Amino acid sequence: MKWDVKFIERLLFGAGEALFQTGWFMESITTQVLVVFVIRTRRPIFRGRPHVFLAAMALGVIGVAIALPLFPVSRWLGFVALPPQFFVFLIGATSAYLAIVEINERSSWPDGHASPNTY
């Protein structure tokens, strides 16, 4: 069986190749950067306080990824500007992904919860 990428693009986004590629890039960067905050500690995501530098760099990377399609260099990468409703999807999908990772992380530890000495 051969994958029909064009069909998947139309099914998921009703979008062309450039729009699909740009959306995939933004979603991938966002989830990969933010998952660091979940897996870096055994504490729940909102109880662990990352270093200011780590938080700033993570938000900076996400900001650059979101802004990238607005700059001329995006043509070299095949990116296009995304519609505003994509960002609603991005927030929802990223939140769901991080929640699943958090739940999985908690169930992975032998005692089922964080150690009091874990930062």
Q: pLDDT-based confidence at 119, cuts 50/70/90? A: very low
Residue 21 domain-assigned (yes or no)? yes
Residue 104 domain-assigned (yes or no)? yes
Residue 32 domain-assigned (yes or no)? yes
Residue 62 domain-assigned (yes or no)? yes
**Rounded to two decimals, what is the model's pTM?**
0.72
For residue range 74-101, list pLDDT tens digits in order.
989 999 999 888 999 999 999 999 999 9
Residue 7 domain-assigned (yes or no)? no
The domain tally of the chain equals: 1
DSSP string computed for 17-64: HHHHHHHHHHHHHHHHHHHHHHHT-SS-TTTS---HHHHHHHHHHHHH
- Domain hosting 75: range is 17-108
